[in-house]
Amino acid sequence: MSSRDHFTSRIGFILAAAGSAIGLGAIWKFPYMAGTNGGSVFILLFILCTIFIGLPILISEFMIGRRGQRDPINSFKEQAPGKPWYTVGWIGLIAAGLILSFYSVVGGWILSYLFRALTFSLTGKGLNFALLFNDLITNPWEAIFAQGTFMLLTLLIVQAGIKGGIEVASKWMMPLLFIFFILLFIRSITLDGAVEGIKFMFIPDWSYFNVDTLVLALGQAFFSLSLGVCAMITYASYLAKSEKIVNSAVNVAAMNIIISLLAGLVIFPAVFALDYSPEQGPGLVFIMIPAVFEQLPMGSILLIVFFILLLFATVTSSIALLEVVVAIGIGNKTQTRKKATWIFAIIIFVIGIPSALSFGLLSDLKILDKSIFDFVDYLTSGILLPIGALMISLFAGFHYSKKISREEMQSSPFIYWTWLIIVRFIAPIAILVILLNSVLG
């Protein structure tokens, strides 16, 4: 493809940006983070962080990308010649690569589950879903093989280019996934004892209100909106000048919150009704989803469809991650795109292997008291994404003149000034305080 293709329609862009945002972050990570951090307080903080910090930064990324019309590094270089802003691009490259390294591990789990669903070995009375998940993640060969297969899939789609791959896939799969979640929610909420799950999600237990929860909620907001790694800058660089970025950003953020909450509303009522613990960690969704489907008529068939949809949601995010790495990595040398895609994919695969093994073979290896998988997650969501987001916020807030940013936003004065105050002061200060607390504390 030519690297300067444009999206054919606004809805195409929104769906592609939402496709990049909505993925494992909302469906896999959000429920387990909420589960291990007391539920309601984490959820509340996540929503607040999304609206008051994430959304304004998302608008900023759209603005920077659309104005630049090129890959992030060159975009920053051209918009701020001689200044070091382009380092944001390098942070993005490293963060996106690291995220993809463990994202592909979880993508691999989905492939393994899909395979099991297709062979009907995920259903049948008396299955212990927790044990089943454990068997899978502790088997080194399966974990690495599945991770590699997932990377290959991502790589092949990225090579096919923006229009062919991303747009078409997101257009169909996202709405279908949404319908599925509604169906699952109805089943989950009508189980006996489900109401405890709702209480867990919505009645605050303030003992969980502390800086750690705040760091995690902010990291979750950035991760799930794909912020701080220049992904949205990259996507918006394909956006025509005439599009309204505020509306697009609001849509993406809203869809992301809705899918996250829906995932929680499917998982937590079932957790309490079926007597599981909300604190299962990364396995939560993989354990609970088959358990909920077991309660449905034709569950084993529906489970197959569900994992296919989940795979698509995951792939629309993983392609964004690889796209960022490739776009930044090759800059304007677009003729090397194909080769670069392969090289980066292989490097990221290799970097991801320790994460894939960190539940089994390497489970004793700890960095800062965390497993390798958790450490890479913390390094990205807890440190790199906030730093990237901070710089992007300052760039849009201070580097652009008010005339430029107002023109770009095309919105009412109230919305414009609220945005400006947030990206100039509130977001940077909040991110800094939270970052310092997390690193020093």
Which residues form the interface with ligand PFF (CB under 6 A)? 20-21, 23-26, 96, 99, 223-224, 226, 229, 231, 317, 320-321, 324
Nearest to 268 by CA among 46, 109, 40: 40
| Between 117 and 321, CB nearer to ligand PFF | 321
Residue 133 Ramachandran class (φ > 0 left, ψ -120 to 50 alpha, else beta): alpha
Q: Number of H helices and number of E strands within the chain?
A: 22, 2
| Between 24 and 122, CB nearer to ligand PFF | 24
User: What is the closest distance, in whole angstroms, from the C-beta atom of residue 352 to ligand PFF in the complex?
Assistant: 15
**Cα(372)–Cα(119) distance, rounded to whole angstroms?**
31
> What DSSP string describes 211-261?
HHHHHHHHHHHHHHTT-SSSHHHHHHTTS-TTS-HHHHHHHHHHHHHHHHH
**Cα(15)–Cα(167) distance, rounded to whole angstroms?**
7
| Between 25 and 197, CB nearer to ligand PFF | 25
User: What is the closest distance, in whole angstroms, from the C-beta atom of residue 224 to ligand PFF in the complex?
Assistant: 4
Q: Which residue is nearest to ligand PFF (CB)?
A: 25
| Between 59 and 194, CB nearer to ligand PFF | 59
**What's the maximum distance between 2 C-alpha atoms anywhere in the chain?**
65
Contact 92, 231 (CB under 8 A): yes
Contact 147, 353 (CB under 8 A): yes
User: What is the closest distance, in whole angstroms, from the C-beta atom of residue 313 to ligand PFF in the complex?
Assistant: 8
Nearest to 206 by CA among 45, 435, 8, 372: 45
User: What is the closest distance, in whole angstroms, from the C-beta atom of residue 316 to ligand PFF in the complex?
Assistant: 9
Instruction: Give the three-state DSSP class for 371.
Output: strand
As beta bridge partners, residue 370 has 367
User: What is the closest distance, in whole angstroms, from the C-beta atom of residue 328 to ligand PFF in the complex?
Assistant: 11
| Between 130 and 387, CB nearer to ligand PFF | 387
| Between 161 and 360, CB nearer to ligand PFF | 161
DSSP H helices, 37-167, are 40-49, 55-68, 72-79, 87-118, 129-138, 140-160
User: What is the closest distance, in whole angstroms, from the C-beta atom of residue 329 to ligand PFF in the complex?
Assistant: 14
User: What is the closest distance, in whole angstroms, from the C-beta atom of residue 324 to ligand PFF in the complex?
Assistant: 5
| Between 194 and 327, CB nearer to ligand PFF | 327
